[in-house]
């Protein structure tokens, strides 16, 4: 099974500042035949289901603000919020869909400093 | 509108069985990868099971042999049959579409307790 490890567990960032979340997979999630990384990022606010932010490691879902960006390849990935807004307070998860069992990272809680 | 609505959660005793249903609208369940994902109180997301459009199914080790995912193409419904329930199966269960999950239901709560 592919284990997804996120860091940090939580971070506090001032409004307007950058937030960076890391995600590492125990094996590569890059599928060579199509050169795609099978990695997604989700945002979950209290009492709500998760919301897809990024798929294929760097493709922003429709309607997601462009302050959210994803990067990385192979086993190391990053979600960046370029200018933190109050509405970005949430828990963020990475997920690999390279092979079942699909697996999520443990989550990173983002708060306002 | 694309939507998923879960039905069937509740309080069940350890060792009991429960079937969750998920009603889909705005798209065809059988043409998509469909999942169940759960979240225990105060914990992170845990993927439970997937059924591919071709019919293949996969499970998390924690539920293998106890849970069964299925679908009814005529009703456009997804199901999760849960047997031999344990305390640790207590969670909000989400029905969800895709390998990267672009549509989520609001979830249904399953509480396993005596």
In order, the DSSP letters of chain A are ---EEEE-SEEEE-TTS-EEEEEEESS--EETTTTEE-EEEEEE-TTS--EEEEETTTEEPTT--TTEEEEEETTEEEEEESS--GGG-EEEEEEE-SSSSPEE---EEEEE-
**Does B106 sit within 8 Å of A101, measured CB to CB?**
no
The mean pLDDT of chain B is 98
Chain A interface test: which of B96, B101, B106, B109 (most A C-beta within 10 Å): B101
In angstroms, the separation between the Cα of residue B112 and the nearest Cα of chain A is 20
Check: CB of residue A43 under 8 Å from CB of residue A109.
no
pLDDT given at position B102 = 98
Interval B61-76 mean pLDDT = 98
Q: What is the chain B residue with the closest CA to A40?
A: B100
The total of other beta-carbon atoms located within 10 Å of residue A47's CB is: 8
In angstroms, the separation between the Cα of residue A56 and the nearest Cα of chain B is 8
Q: Is the dihedral of CA A34, A35, A38, A42 positive or negative?
A: negative
pLDDT given at position A18 = 98
Angle among Cα B6, B11, B15 to the nearest 5 degrees reads 105
The mean pLDDT of chain A is 98
Rounded Cα–Cα distance for residues B78 and B44 (Å):
23
Interval B30-46 mean pLDDT = 98
pLDDT given at position A89 = 98
Q: What is the chain B residue with the closest CA to A47?
A: B106
List pLDDT tens digits, range A35-81.
999 999 999 999 999 999 999 999 999 999 999 999 999 999 999 99
Q: Which two tokens stand for residue A36?
A: 């795609």
pLDDT given at position B103 = 98
pLDDT given at position A112 = 98
**Does B100 sit within 8 Å of A97, measured CB to CB?**
yes
Rounded Cα–Cα distance for residues B97 and B89 (Å):
21
Name the 3-class secondary structure at B30. helix
pLDDT given at position A52 = 98
Of B44, B59, B105, the CB nearest to A93: B44
Edge-to-edge strand order for the sheet containing B77-82?
B3-7, B18-25, B77-82, B67-72
Interval A76-87 mean pLDDT = 98
Taking only residues 26 to 85 of chain A, the set having a beta carbon closer than 8 angstroms to any beta carbon of chain B reads 38, 40, 42, 44, 49-52, 55-56, 61
Please indicate if any CB of chain B lies within 8 Å of the CB of A107.
Answer: yes
pLDDT given at position A63 = 97
**Does A42 sit within 8 Å of B101, measured CB to CB?**
yes
Of A38, A51, A104, the CB nearest to B47: A104
pLDDT given at position A86 = 98
pLDDT given at position B26 = 98
Rounded Cα–Cα distance for residues A47 and B41 (Å):
11
The pLDDT > 70 percentage for chain B reads: 100
**Does A38 sit within 8 Å of B44, measured CB to CB?**
no
pLDDT given at position A46 = 95
Interval B16-28 mean pLDDT = 98
Residues of B in contact with A52 (CB under 8 A): 100-102
């Amino acid at each position: 099974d592919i284990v997804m490890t996120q860091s940090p567990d939580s971070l506090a960032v001032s409004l307007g500042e950058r937030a960076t979340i890391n995600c590492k997979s125990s094996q590569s999630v890059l599928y060579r035949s199509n050169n795609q990384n099978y990695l997604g990022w989700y945002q979950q606010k209290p009492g709500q289901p998760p919301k897809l932010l990024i798929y294929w490691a760097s493709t922003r879902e429709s309607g997601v603000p462009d302050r959210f960006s994803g990067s990385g390849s192979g086993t190391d990935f990053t979600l960046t919020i370029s200018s933190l807004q109050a509405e970005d307070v949430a828990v963020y998860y990475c997920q690999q869909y390279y092979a079942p069992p699909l697996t999520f990272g443990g989550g990173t809680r983002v708060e306002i400093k | 509108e694309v939507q998923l609505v879960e039905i069937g959660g509740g309080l069940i005793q350890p060792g009991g069985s429960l079937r969750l249903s998920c009603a889909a609208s705005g798209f065809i369940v059988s043409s998509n990868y469909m999942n169940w994902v759960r979240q225990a109180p105060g914990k992170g997301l845990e993927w439970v099971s997937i059924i591919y459009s071709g019919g293949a199914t996969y499970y998390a080790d924690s539920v293998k042999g106890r849970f069964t995912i299925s679908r009814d193409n005529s009703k456009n419904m997804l199901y999760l049959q849960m047997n031999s329930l344990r305390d640790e199966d207590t969670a909000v269960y989400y029905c969800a579409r895709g390998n990267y999950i672009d549509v989520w239901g609001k979830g249904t709560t399953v509480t396993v307790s005596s």
